C-alpha cells in the first residue's frame, strides 16, 4: 500500500527575498508571503526564518510513501510517516491561510488560522513524545493502537 504525492518542480534558488515580500518561490511553487504594507516597520528576522523553515518542510514531503516499508504488510513506522506527512501538509496549508487572510486585512481570520497552526504543531509534538516513550519502553502493542 502506498500514498503518492505529486512532487512540485524544485527551485534551487531559495535565497532570502527582501523583507516582507508578497510571495516567494519554494519547490517551484509560489508561496504567499506577507505584503510589506501589512507588516509594521522594523526588523522582523523571524519572518525570514519562518519562510525558510516552511520551504524546508515542503521540500521534505515524500513523493511516494510506502506504508509497508518493503515488508509486504503495513507497518507502524509507515503509518507514522504517513501521519507526519499529513500533518506537514496541514501546517503548510494553515501557514498559507494565515498569510492570505492577514494580507487581505482579515485580522481575525489570520488569528484563527495562526491558532489552528499552533494547535496542529502542539498535537503532533504530543503524539511524537508519546510514541517515543512507548518505543523506548518497547511497548509495541500500545504503539500500534
| Per-residue pLDDT tens listing for the chain (145 residues) | 544 444 333 343 333 333 344 566 666 667 778 887 888 888 888 888 888 889 899 888 888 888 888 898 888 888 888 999 999 999 999 999 999 999 999 999 999 999 999 999 999 999 999 999 998 998 888 887 7
pLDDT of 27 reads 61
Alpha-carbon distance of 11 to 59, in angstroms, equals 10
pLDDT of 109 reads 96
pLDDT of 29 reads 67
Alpha-carbon distance of 22 to 27, in angstroms, equals 17
As for how many domains the chain has, the answer is 1
pLDDT of 51 reads 86
With beta carbons less than 8 A apart as the criterion, state whether 117 and 98 touch.
yes
pLDDT of 13 reads 39
pLDDT of 22 reads 52
**Which residues, 6+ apart, have CB-to-CB distance to 113 below 8 Å?**
94, 97, 98, 101
Q: What range defines the domain where residue 13 resides?
A: 2-144
With beta carbons less than 8 A apart as the criterion, state whether 7 and 85 touch.
no
With beta carbons less than 8 A apart as the criterion, state whether 142 and 132 touch.
no
Amino acid at each position: 500500500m502506498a500514498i503518492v504525492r505529486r512532487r512540485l518542480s524544485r527551485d534551487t534558488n531559495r535565497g532570502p527575498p527582501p523583507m516582507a515580500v508578497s510571495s516567494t518561490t519554494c519547490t517551484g511553487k509560489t508561496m504567499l508571503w506577507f505584503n510589506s504594507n501589512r507588516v509594521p516597520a522594523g526588523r522582523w528576522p523571524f519572518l525570514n526564518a519562518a519562510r525558510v523553515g516552511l520551504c524546508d518542510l515542503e521540500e521534505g514531503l515524500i513523493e511516494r510513501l510506502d506504508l509497508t516499508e518493503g515488508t509486504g504488510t503495513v507497518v507502524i513506522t509507515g503509518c507514522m510517516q504517513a501521519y507526519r506527512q499529513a500533518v506537514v501538509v496541514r501546517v503548510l496549508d494553515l501557514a498559507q491561510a494565515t498569510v492570505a487572510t492577514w494580507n487581505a486585512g482579515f485580522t481575525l481570520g489570520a488569528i484563527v488560522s495562526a491558532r489552528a497552526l499552533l494547535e496542529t504543531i502542539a498535537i503532533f509534538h504530543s503524539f511524537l513524545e508519546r510514541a517515543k516513550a512507548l518505543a523506548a519502553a518497547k511497548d509495541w502493542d500500545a504503539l500500534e493502537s
